[in-house]
Amino acid sequence: MRNCPLPNGVGRTSETALILSANTQFCDHLALRLRAEGLRVWAAPSLLAANSQLARGQQPTIIITDMVLDDSLDAFVRSFPLPAPPPFILLLTSAAELSASDLSHGVSAFFRLPLEEDELIRAIHRLLSSKNVLQ
């Protein structure tokens, strides 16, 4: 489990991104980019590892994952303490088509691999802006 603190400086936010991927090189690279955008970032190689961080009080605003979506992700999201809103889920996939199952897991946005990072960053800004409008 890598905990990536927000760097000092401008752009601090209370928003937290969880990168859920077994690919540590990808996690480290994406974490640097997200921290540069002002997000706090933590990464986990599995839902089990993410659950241990959640038990310590870390709750992500955004989950970015390249993992296959199934009921375990739903259970993970439902385990967040109320009244916190559910996180935005961003799915990274190399699949040519997305299944109905993918759509049923509350995914906010889909991105094809290889990842276009600028597109991901723009989507994160849009989602966080919509969250702030709804509050």
pLDDT at 43: 93
User: Which residues are within 8 A (CB) of 30 and not within 5 positions of it... i.e. 6 or more apart?
Assistant: 19, 41, 64, 115, 117
Q: Tell me the residue range of the domain where 45 lies.
A: 2-134
Residue 43 to residues 39, 62, 70, 77, Cα–Cα distance (Å): 13, 12, 19, 16
Query: How far is residue 116's CA from residue 5's CA, in Å, rounded to a whole number?
Result: 24
Residue 113 is part of a domain; what is its CATH number?
A: 3.40.50.2300
Q: Which residue has the higher pLDDT, 7 or 122?
A: 122
Q: Which residue has the higher pLDDT, 41 or 89?
A: 41
- In DSSP terms, which residues pair with 91 in a beta bridge? 65, 110
pLDDT at 102: 56
Number of domains in the chain: 1
Q: Render pLDDT for 25-70 as a digit per residue (tens, 0 to 9).
A: 999 999 999 999 999 999 998 888 888 888 787 788 999 988 765 6
